[in-house]
Amino acid sequence: MKKTAIVTGGTSKQYPAMAVLALNIADKCPDIADELVIFYDDIPLSQQKLINSIFPTRFIKYESPFQHTDNFSDEILHYFSPFVFCKYECFRLLEEYQTVIWSDYDFVITKDISDIRIKNKFDAKFISDVMLGAKFNNKMYFEPNCLEDIHSFDLLGSAISCCFFVLFDTFKNYKEIYAECIKLTERYAPALYLPEEAVISVIFQQKKVQYEKLDYNKYSTLPKDIEKNAGITSIIHAVGQPKFWNGLYNEQWENYYRKWLKMGGAKHLDRYTKLERLILRIKRKIKKIFKKN
């Protein structure tokens, strides 16, 4: 029988935050998935073993499907990262898993959300129409001066949030959807403001994909709305800046982070002092020199 995966991914700078997410999952919803899948570029093997000891984890080295990134928008290259497109890989994972759940790693899960893996009417579940607590449409996902070539899309139609979503292997044409994600990302790269969300939103509109709408207040509560959403919130989402690791305090997140450090986990780079960062850079340079020789 095919398994259920909960998936996240990010650069080497962020793996301590992904480790905290693993601790959070193991604590609050250990039955949500059979394994955690992490897309990564560089996580030391010793640290991979630590994460795997928290929750069964499969590490997949992310190979970007994009040959050229010269025309990518500043938002993709500098605010986000081309790594944001590893979310597309969730469609391909349906070849191996019955259910695929994507979770951003800037989350604090406050309640058991294991029931999210239960399939209802539709083959996918997404948060829709809202972002940052406000009504959103497709137009807001693109750079305002780069809309001339966005053909045949209703830019005022529903926009999808990709911070948390669920796909089931009954999803039709998921391979075609994946290929279309790559194609449209390359085509509209200079225009993408909220990149992967823009692409998936317009593809779902074009393909008339129906999905179950998840409650934003439950699955992506902003820290400022915690009191307002008391009794509803299951996930606190540190949208934008600061994050839990660089200035936004959350006691639950800090407890998991301390546990990670106690296990022998690496510090998050944003928690290093200036001197520690300098020493780290020197060590990396020395390591590169030895590799060349």
Q: If DSSP states are collapsed to H, E and C, what string results for 95-156?
A: CCEEEEEEECCCEEECCCCHHHHCCCCCCEEEEECEECCEECEHHHHECCCCCCCCCCCCCC
- Which pLDDT score, from 0 to 100, does residue 78 have? 65
Contact 250, 223 (CB under 8 A): yes
Tens digit of pLDDT per residue, the chain (293 long)? 799 999 999 999 999 999 999 999 999 999 999 999 999 999 999 999 999 999 999 999 999 888 777 777 776 766 677 889 999 999 999 999 999 999 999 999 999 999 999 999 999 999 986 554 445 555 556 655 555 555 566 666 778 899 999 999 999 999 999 999 999 888 888 877 788 988 898 899 889 999 999 999 999 999 999 999 989 999 999 998 899 999 999 999 999 999 999 999 999 999 877 676 776 777 767 776 776 65
- Which pLDDT score, from 0 to 100, does residue 134 have? 46
- Which pLDDT score, from 0 to 100, does residue 57 have? 98
**What is d(CA 200, CA 291) in angstroms, rounded to the nearest whole number?**
40
- Write down all domains in the chain, each with its CATH number in brackets: 3-292 (3.90.550.10)
Closest CA to 101 of 180, 169, 172, 159: 169
**What is d(CA 9, CA 39) in angstroms, rounded to the nearest whole number?**
4
**What is d(CA 162, CA 197) in angstroms, rounded to the nearest whole number?**
6
